[in-house]
Amino acid sequence: MILYLTIIFIAVIINCCFNIIFPVASYGGYAIWIFAVMILAVIIEIGIDAVIATVIHALPNKWFDIGNRFYEVGKKERVFYDRLKIKTWKDKVLELGSLNGFSKSKVKDPNDPNYIKMFIIECNKGVLIHLVIMFAGFLILLFPTPKYFLRIGLTVAVVNLFLNLLPTMVLRYNTPKLKIAYQRAVKNNEREIKISRENKNESN
């Protein structure tokens, strides 16, 4: 949260300073107007993000299942994430899954295949949500005047894209590891069931 708020705050300050130094109007209260519109733009952007996230999260889980190839993470992509040293900073990226009732900040039950499967489904939903939001965020440019398009809306849209790119990479970095954990949990579960049946047969 601190990382996100810091990035947003810095972007707001830089944009406001730019608009004050290179104004498009000379009337009184221009600085206040710029700051107010910037805050409004941020609120509108958050609203767009929230609507998209709610709609996608309501889609059937089967669309985001483990076998869906759209969410496969290739070897080159995994190597790319390793080069970015994503492991060292991924925990600083904001995780809002708990708002929908499923936190993805930590695997709480690595031995339950059903839980891990749901974890992967939630990760895949998160990937689609962030991907759509990254580009839908530019809808902010549809609001109202040319001054707003380039001087405020574009900054908000670009920051929105960056802030959604980070969690997308983190989710896709984690998914292959979760699949390995899922396969391990399934095998352990099958082994326990087999042992339980053998013990039951012996007791009979």
Residue 15 clears pLDDT 90, i.e. is over it: no
Residue pLDDT, tens place only, 124-166:
999 999 999 999 988 888 876 656 566 778 888 888 999 999 9
Residue pLDDT, tens place only, 72-106:
999 999 999 999 999 998 888 888 776 677 778 78
Q: Which pTM does this prediction carry?
A: 0.83
Q: Which of 127, 89, 163 is nearest to 119 (CA)?
A: 127
Q: Which of 160, 113, 159 is nearest to 136 (CA)?
A: 160
* Percent of the chain whose predicted confidence (pLDDT) is above 70: 88
Alpha-carbon distance 136 to 132, whole Å? 6
Higher-pLDDT residue of 128 and 7 is: 128
CA distances 161 to 8, 32, 63, 110, 139, Å, are 12, 26, 24, 32, 12
Phi, psi dihedrals of residue 164, rounded to the nearest 5°: -95, -20
> Tokens representing 15?
């944009």
